[in-house]
């Protein structure tokens, strides 16, 4: 099984920044589609950013220019740098993985396309 563990969430004022981490038990030679999703109370889980290892990256329109995905292969960690946070960014944030080919399918933004998930880390942005 692939195990994922998010960290780095917290409470910040609007305009602030946070950097989330997702530690993964993935083999360094494996290729995956890596994603960050978020879910606010009473709302559906939505994709934030999706990236293929060594390939394309897709950002949701709501976070373009503010959020950036990156990774550290040695630490087997996926990161989400969040800048200029807004109250509407408040949600539980999850990292997820799927086979690399999923990043290039039309249903890449569907949570049901991802088999492995972390427990989530809470991000709260106040005004």
pLDDT for position 2: 82
Residue 30 to residue 26: CA distance in whole angstroms: 7
- What is the per-residue pLDDT across 10-49, written as a single tens digit (0 to 9) for each? 999 999 999 999 998 865 546 889 999 999 999 999 999 9
- What is the per-residue pLDDT across 56-71, written as a single tens digit (0 to 9) for each? 999 999 999 999 999 8
Percentage of the chain beyond pLDDT 70 is 96
- What is the per-residue pLDDT across 96-105, written as a single tens digit (0 to 9) for each? 999 999 999 9
Residue 47 to residue 60: CA distance in whole angstroms: 7
Q: What are the E-state strand segments in the chain?
A: 4-7, 10-13, 18-24, 32-39, 46-52, 57-59, 67-72, 77-82, 91-99, 116-117, 121-126
């Amino acid at each position: 099984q692939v195990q994922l563990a998010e960290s780095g969430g917290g409470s910040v004022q609007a305009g602030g920044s946070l950097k989330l981490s997702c530690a993964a038990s993935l083999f360094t030679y494996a290729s995956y589609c890596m994603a960050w999703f978020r879910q606010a109370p009473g709302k559906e889980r939505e994709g934030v950013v999706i990236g293929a290892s060594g390939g394309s990256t897709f950002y949701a329109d709501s976070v373009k220019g503010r959020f950036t995905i990156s990774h550290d292969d040695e630490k087997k960690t996926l990161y989400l740098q969040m800048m200029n946070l807004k109250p509407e960014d408040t949600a539980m944030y999850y990292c997820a993985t799927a086979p690399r080919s999923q990043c290039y399918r039309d249903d890449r933004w569907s949570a049901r396309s991802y088999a492995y998930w972390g427990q989530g880390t809470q991000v709260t942005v106040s005004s």
